[in-house]
Chain A
Amino acid sequence: QKEVEQDPGPLSVPEGAIVSLNCTYSNSAFQYFMWYRQYSRKGPELLMYTYSSGNKEDGRFTAQVDKSSKYISLFIRDSQPSDSATYLCAMSGGSNYKLTFGKGTLLTVNP
Chain B
Amino acid sequence: SAVISQKPSRDICQRGTSLTIQCQVDSQVTMMFWYRQQPGQSLTLIATANQGSEATYESGFVIDKFPISRPNLTFSTLTVSNMSPEDSSIYLCSVGRGGANYGYTFGSGTRLTVV
Interface of A toward B, CB cutoff 8 Å: 4, 8, 31-32, 34, 36, 41-46, 49, 88, 90, 92, 97-104
Contacts and interface: CB of A to CB of B under 8 A. Distances in A.
Contacts, number: 59
A54 to B, nearest CB: 16
Contacts of B57: none
A103 B40 contact: yes
B65 interface: no
5 contacts: A41-B108, A44-B106, A45-B105, A49-B103, A101-B44
A97 B94 CA distance: 13
Contact of A92 (B40, B100, B105): B100
B42 A4 contact: yes
A32 B42 contact: no
A86 B107 CA distance: 16
A46 B103 CA distance: 7
Nearest to A100: B42
A97 B41 contact: no
Identify which of A36, A41, A49, A99 gathers the most chain B CB atoms within 10 Å of its CB.
A99
Nearest to B111: A41
Contacts of A34: 103
A4 B42 CA distance: 9
A103 B103 contact: no
Interface of B: 1, 4, 6, 31, 40-45, 92, 94, 96-97, 100-109, 111
Can you list the 3 inter-chain pairs with the closest CB atoms, starting with the nearest? A97-B100, A43-B106, A101-B43
A103 B107 CA distance: 18
Given A41-B108, A43-B106, A43-B108, 4 more contacts: A45-B105, A49-B102, A97-B96, A102-B42
A43 B43 CA distance: 11
A42 B4 CA distance: 12
A46 B97 contact: yes
A32 B97 CA distance: 13
Contacts of B4: 43
B58 to A, nearest CB: 8
Nearest to B102: A49
